[in-house]
Amino acid sequence: MRRKLVAGNWKMHGGLAANRELLGGLLNQQATVGSAACAVLVPFPYLAQVSSALAGSRISWGAQDVSEHVSGAFTGEVAAPMLADFGCTLVIVGHSERRALHSEDSRTVGKKALSALRSGLTPIICVGESLAEREAGVTREIVGQQIAEAISVCGAGGISASIIAYEPVWAIGTGKTASPEQAQEVHEFLRGILMSASVEAGQVPILYGGSVKAANAAALFAMPDVDGGLVGGASLLVSEFMDIWRAASAARY
């Protein structure tokens, strides 16, 4: 049985005081939750704050993006060795908002994941189809191509040290969640592709993301190939996020 993980993507939200309150709420209750792992992925300026606030806790932390380059004339970019420098362990790559708003293609996403891996970070590689693609019946082609590109750039060894997040674009921030069966179907498909890369790659956690809330988390996490959640909006609310973490800990699979 793979250990479940809930990871909160704060997106571009937060502030020193608001973060202190949110982190304090999570820290106060962490001892009441079972064995699932928990992480927060925060905007770059707050990495130092979470590093210090979460030191010695059960909650891991990381960033929401990383450059594919290691150093150089890339104004505004942040390199993986810089994140690793002060203890960052996780980074999201290929979130649909970056693919859509910053024209990141799957090759670039793969290179970002590889750069993270080379610095000892665990990339959370996001894949997912748009509403038009789902309605056109090409979900498998789209997520299959996205994951294949990541495997081709990072190799089976790199992928086996990564985390995958299936995030249907139509479910992110919309309040529309994939049904547990829809999520399971895609997760199982992705697992098959990962398995054909290597046995170890087939065992990586595959998180579901897209309007996960306390009310739907248990049903999603009960699916055999759903290893937890990448949670956006609900990760900013202590009680919602704690209930999602609890649901992951209580899940049978």
Give yes or no: 167 in active site.
Answer: yes
Is 224 a binding residue for ligand PEP by CB under 6 A? The answer is: no
Is 207 a binding residue for ligand PEP by CB under 6 A? The answer is: no
Residues 101 and 78: their CA atoms lie apart, in Å, by 18
In this structure, what DSSP letter does residue 90 have?
E
Closest C-alpha to 249, from 58, 91, 63? 58
Q: How many CB atoms lie within 10 A of CB 182?
A: 18
Q: Which is nearer to ligand PEP, 62 or 202 (CB)?
A: 62
Q: Which is nearer to ligand PEP, 120 or 173 (CB)?
A: 173
Q: Select from 51-59, 192-200, 225-233, 245-253 the region that touches ligand PEP (CB under 6 A).
A: 225-233
- Which listed residue (104, 129, 149, 167) is catalytic? 167
Work out the widest C-alpha separation in the chain, in whole angstroms.
49
Is 173 a binding residue for ligand PEP by CB under 6 A? The answer is: yes
Q: Which two tokens stand for residue 203?
A: 């065992």
Q: How many residues bind ligand PEP (CB under 6 A)?
A: 14
Is 9 a binding residue for ligand PEP by CB under 6 A? The answer is: yes
Total residues found in the chain within this entry: 253
Is 233 a binding residue for ligand PEP by CB under 6 A? The answer is: yes
Name which position in 167, 225, 227, 243 contacts ligand PEP (CB under 6 A). 167
Q: How many CB atoms lie within 10 A of CB 246?
A: 19
Name which position in 212, 226, 244, 248 contacts ligand PEP (CB under 6 A). 212
Q: Select from 81-89, 117-125, 228-236, 238-246 the region that touches ligand PEP (CB under 6 A).
A: 228-236
Q: How many CB atoms lie within 10 A of CB 189?
A: 17
Q: How many CB atoms lie within 10 A of CB 153?
A: 21
Is 231 a binding residue for ligand PEP by CB under 6 A? The answer is: yes
> CB of residue 140 vs ligand PEP: minimum separation in angstroms?
20
Instruction: Give the contacts of 59 (CB within 8 A, at least 6 positions apart).
Output: 23, 26, 27, 30, 38, 39, 40
Is 172 a binding residue for ligand PEP by CB under 6 A? The answer is: yes
Give yes or no: 95 in active site.
Answer: yes
Residues 177 and 179: their CA atoms lie apart, in Å, by 6
Is 211 a binding residue for ligand PEP by CB under 6 A? The answer is: yes
104, 98 Cβ separation under 8 angstroms: yes
Closest C-alpha to 245, from 15, 31, 2, 63? 31
Name which position in 210, 240, 243, 249 contacts ligand PEP (CB under 6 A). 210
Q: Which is nearer to ligand PEP, 11 or 187 (CB)?
A: 11
Any idea which residues carry the catalytic annotation?
A: 95, 167
Residues that bind ligand PEP (CB under 6 A): 9, 11, 167, 172-173, 209-212, 230-234
